Amino acid sequence: MNRRLTRRHLHRAAAALALGLAVAVPAHAAWPTDKPIQLIVPYAPGGTADALARLVAEQLGPKLGTTVMVLNKAGASGTLGEAEAARAAGDGYTLLYTATPYSINPHLQKLPYEAKDLQPVTQVALAPMFLAVGRASPYRSLAELIKAGKQAPGKLNFSSGGQGTVQYMGAELLLQAVGVKATHVPYKSGGPALQAIMAGEVDFGMGNVSALAGSVKSGLVRPLAITSATRNANHTDVPTIAESGVKGYEVHEWNGIFAPAATPRETVQRLSTALREVLESTSVKARIYALGARTVGSSAEDFRQFLAKEEARWGATVKAAGIRKE
């Protein structure tokens, strides 16, 4: 816009104000300013979701011409941080970066917020998991593990970071698919749950590929299968669960960004576009893949449809397991 045009607009605005008239200015015109955007991560620092959120924040800030700050608000399987984001003003300066428990928690507990108070912006990434056993385990394949479970119902046990985690629900979904009963041993978080696998405290467990990669390399754990539809390029010797005889099985930990429901549509669209541009970057894709995940970068509507399928699947899994809502 040239200087003459700008001055003419200012003169018109001043004249309108002098006459007591309202000057129509689009609500989204000034967004974003140099005010930082707060990206709430409802999990503790150090996990895959936190690492991915910080990578996205680092790249999104320059794209929007401002700063994106990550704020960890852990607790109650992610619902505390989600509730804070749901209660925030819909001005584009508070966003939520959450993961799969968002789709699971509604079936396990009464949420401290209404789902309608958040709207999807973009699905960021999908991360597969290993189904793994300790190095001293007698099981060398998923088929052997399933056979043992069928021969002695209830004898096998498995670890997870808690009921609302994808590690627990992914294992439960597998057990239901093959008709095996096993005992769930919950730990306070994913780290101790993985330690339990390494120490042989449990027979098996699921864990994010990046979280287990070091232990796999050192031989502390043995991956029997991976939960994705295809093998991982860095672990080509590990078959998929579907290849191991459980047809159609595929589970990922997903990550995505949400905004308060009152956030203007134009702001959400701009956010979605900027995020997809970030996720299409070759360097960002490589860094996310190094964290054991792959980028998605969906539209808000595609993300909404994905969430509906996830919530239906985990609702059915919870019901089949006989888990009562707290």
Q: Tell me the pLDDT of the chain averaged across its residues.
A: 91
| Domain ranges within the chain, ordered by starting residue | 37-127+252-321, 129-226
Neighbours of 178 (CB within 10 A): 18
3-class SS at 270?
Answer: helix
The identity of residue 35, as a single letter, is K
State how far the Cα of 120 lies from the Cα of 56, in Å rounded to an integer. 16
CATH superfamily for 37-127+252-321 is Bordetella uptake gene, domain 1 (3.40.190.150)
Fold of 129-226: D-Maltodextrin-Binding Protein; domain 2 (3.40.190)
pLDDT at 324 (0 to 100):
83
DSSP H helical ranges for 105-241: 142-151, 166-178, 190-199, 209-218
Q: Confidence class of residue 235 from pLDDT cuts 50, 70 and 90?
A: very high
What pLDDT is recorded for position 203? 98
Phi then psi for residue 39, to 5 deg, are -105, 105
- Cα–Cα distances (Å) from 159 to 71, 138, 167, 202, 240, in that order, read 28, 17, 8, 6, 20
Give which of 142, 317, 125, 123 is closest to 239, Cα–Cα: 142
Pairwise CA distance, residues 299 & 302, whole Å: 5
Q: What is the pLDDT of residue 29?
A: 52
Contacts of 136 (CB under 8 A, 6+ apart): 200
pLDDT 10s digits, 85-136: 999 999 999 999 999 999 999 999 999 999 999 999 999 999 999 999 999 9
> In this predicted structure, what is the pLDDT of residue 9?
47
Q: What is the pLDDT of residue 32?
A: 86
Q: Which of 28-37, 73-82, 305-314 has the lowest mean pLDDT?
A: 28-37
- The pTM for the full model equals 0.88
pLDDT tens-digit profile of 193-209? Answer: 999 999 999 999 999 99
pLDDT in tens, 4-39: 444 444 445 444 444 444 444 344 457 888 899 999
Give mean pLDDT, residues 281-298: 94
